[in-house]
Amino acid sequence: MNSSSSYWENYYSKHREPADCSPFAEFITPFLKKGKRLIEFGCGNGRDSKHFAKQGINVLALDQCKKEIAFLSDKFKSTKNLIFLAEDMTNLPDLENSDFLYSRFTIHAIDRKGEEKLVKWAASNLKANGLFFVEVRSVKDELYGIGEALGDNAYFTDHYRRFIILEELHQQFTSNGLDIIYSIESKGLAPYKTQDPVVIRLIAQKK
Ligand SMILES: C[S@@+](CC[C@H](N)C(=O)[O-])C[C@H]1O[C@@H](n2cnc3c(N)ncnc32)[C@H](O)[C@@H]1O
């Protein structure tokens, strides 16, 4: 867990219902295959997981927000290929190996130790040739430097954000046996209201 878990519980108590999926979810949809298994880390109100389940993917959506997960579990109880579980993504038990892993705007929500544990877990819970999709805020994002400096490129405003260095993220993946097959760092990929953050998108593949 992290010091922002109550921030996210509060945020999702006001944004309970899954809205439209993110541009990143749309971007990765052509890589997915019906009937395969995907785990989402930090699903929030489940908007992207709901979209993947609609494509016929078997989805396990994880988040630390217990109340939001309870709400979503009840709302989607008759959708057999969409399961929600309250879990800390930095401390997961081994699960049935997956074809796909998905993390959008969550790696910058955890500290470096958590990132190390998550990527290690991903490498051992992904099938051979399986894909891990990541979208995360870069150190080049204009929010970088705003708020209380916590060290290691992390800042606290009303919640915790640790901005990511592209080359370090590559190294984290490759040192765990995950090849980078796609990588971009840019504005224009995740616009939200008046914001247009610089984000990193990665697709990594297990050898
Ligand atoms: C910026 S929101 C992104 C939500 C969703 N992926 C999206 O793009 O709409 C970050 C999410 O990560 C979750 N999160 C942060 N740290 C977590 C952890 N250690 N374990 C599980 N979920 C976590 C938060 O509860 C929150 O729902």
Q: What is the mean pLDDT of residues 51-67?
A: 98
Given a contact cutoff of 8 angstroms between Cβ atoms, the answer to whether 126 and 101 are in contact is yes
Looking at the chain, the whole-number percentage of residues with pLDDT higher than 70 is 99
**Can you tell me which atom of ligand 1 is nearest the CA of 1?**
19
Q: pTM of this prediction?
A: 0.97
pLDDT in tens, 75-93: 999 999 999 999 999 999 9
Looking at the chain, the whole-number percentage of residues with pLDDT higher than 90 is 98
Task: Say if ligand 1 is within 6 A of residue 65 CB.
Answer: yes
Q: What residues have CB less than 8 Å from 110, skipping those under 6 apart?
A: 2, 89, 90, 118, 162
Task: Say if ligand 1 is within 6 A of residue 172 CB.
Answer: no
Q: Residue with the nearest Cα to atom 3 of ligand 1?
A: 105
| Distance between CA atoms of residues 203 and 27, nearest Å | 11
Task: Say if ligand 1 is within 6 A of residue 42 CB.
Answer: yes
Confidence of residue 69 (pLDDT cuts 50, 70, 90): very high
5-13 helix and 66-75 helix, angle to the nearest 10 degrees: 40
Task: Say if ligand 1 is within 6 A of residue 115 CB.
Answer: no
Q: What is the mean pLDDT of residues 54-82?
A: 98
The number of domains in the chain is 1
Pair type for strands 37-41 and 58-63: parallel
Task: Say if ligand 1 is within 6 A of residue 109 CB.
Answer: yes
Task: Say if ligand 1 is within 6 A of residue 61 CB.
Answer: no
Domain encompassing residue 171: 5-206
pLDDT in tens, 16-55: 999 899 999 999 999 999 999 999 999 999 999 999 999 9
Helix or strand or coil: residue 81?
coil
Q: What is the mean pLDDT of residues 116-134?
A: 98
| pLDDT value at residue 148 | 98
| pLDDT value at residue 3 | 58
**Can you tell me which atom of ligand 1 is nearest the CA of 24?**
8
Instruction: List the CATH number of the domain containing 27.
Output: 3.40.50.150
Q: Which residues pair with 38 in a beta bridge?
A: 59, 100
Pocket test for ligand 1, best of 3, 4, 8, 164 (most atoms within 8 A of CB): 8
**Can you tell me which atom of ligand 1 is nearest the CA of 103?**
6
